[in-house]
Amino acid sequence: MFRLLVRSGRGFAAAMQLLTRIPVPLEVPYDQGTMRASAVSFPLAGAAVGLVTAASAAALLLLLPAWPAAALTLAVWTAVTGGLHLDGWIDTADGTLSNRPRERMLEIMKDSRVGAMGAMAGVLLLIVKFAALASLLESAGPACWAMLAAIPVWSRWWMTAAMAAWPNARGEGGMGALFRGVRAVHAGGAAAAGLAVTFALLCAGGAAPIEWGGLPAPGAAALAAAAFPALAAAFGWPLGRWLARRLGGQTGDTYGAMNEWTEAWLLLALSALYA
């Protein structure tokens, strides 16, 4: 039990260090065992990102109209991740939209320079996120903040699910190789962690965003929490399957790209709910 707790603690620290810029002053070994444990904690790191984002949105909305508050919230959201996933989105677009052979696409994705396809994809993604945030902030409330905080939880859970679903496209190389040992059991553990933290967020934020057939608050929160993994999988699976066909699997960049893709679609769904 003690070893399990130590492994879980190291996994959480590694997830925070990998996926956020929130300081975690703990040295952990970046080996496959720690990376497998970190994948289970990806939703918890997402919760930290979501809480910072939602708190920033609520504070900024006290001082600014919805549109400038949305722009600054998006800046905070990107900054708290260090732009890691956005970089993966851009690199993935540069490679997979180049219409080159598979090996050449993987080489392009490793190039730190930004090409035309990556630049366009990055701009379009930020526009979509900004528009959805601006719409959301115009009709914000306590439950809205809880739902917003939950979005990064489930986009990062989908990263763990994708690690379990597809092989590493680079074989023994690349960042993605560290997560080769991630299996369905890790994705299931990450889902359980995500459901627990989402349920807590929704209960704290006023349960559900809409009336769920007269259900009591805990039941409404549980039902709303359960909708998140279903939507994340529905949004994430098509892109993951397409990328796997193009590249023969996934890479560190495509995990980041799927996070951004899923996050954007969940944000769009939330803005539509409050429209």
Q: What is the pLDDT of residue 47?
A: 97
Phi, psi of 113, deg, nearest 5: -75, 145
Domain assignment present for residue 7? The answer is no
Q: What is the pLDDT of residue 186?
A: 95
The answer to whether residue 138 scores a pLDDT higher than 80 is: yes
Domain assignment present for residue 26? The answer is no
* Continuous H helices in the chain: 2-19, 32-40, 42-63, 66-80, 84-96, 102-110, 116-137, 142-165, 184-204, 217-247, 252-274
Domain assignment present for residue 20? The answer is no
The answer to whether residue 205 scores a pLDDT higher than 80 is: no
DSSP code, position 207 = S
120, 97 in Cβ contact below 8 A?
Answer: no
**Burial environment of residue 51 by CB neighbours within 10 A (0 to 12, 13 to 18, 19 or more):** buried
At 6-52, the pLDDT tens digits run 778 899 999 999 999 999 988 888 888 888 999 999 999 999 999 99
111, 100 in Cβ contact below 8 A?
Answer: no
Domain assignment present for residue 3? The answer is no
Residue 171: give the domain boundaries: 40-274
Provide mean pLDDT across the span 259-275.
94
Q: What is the pLDDT of residue 2?
A: 63
Number of domains in the chain: 1
Domain assignment present for residue 27? The answer is no
One-letter identity of residue 138: E
Q: Which of 4-13, 98-107, 125-134, 236-245 is predicted least confidently?
A: 4-13
- 95, 104, 117, 169, 273 from 98: Cα distances, Å: 5, 9, 8, 17, 36
What is the pTM assigned to this prediction? 0.93
CA distance 112 to 129: 24
CA distance 170 to 8: 27
Domain assignment present for residue 19? The answer is no
Domain assignment present for residue 35? The answer is no
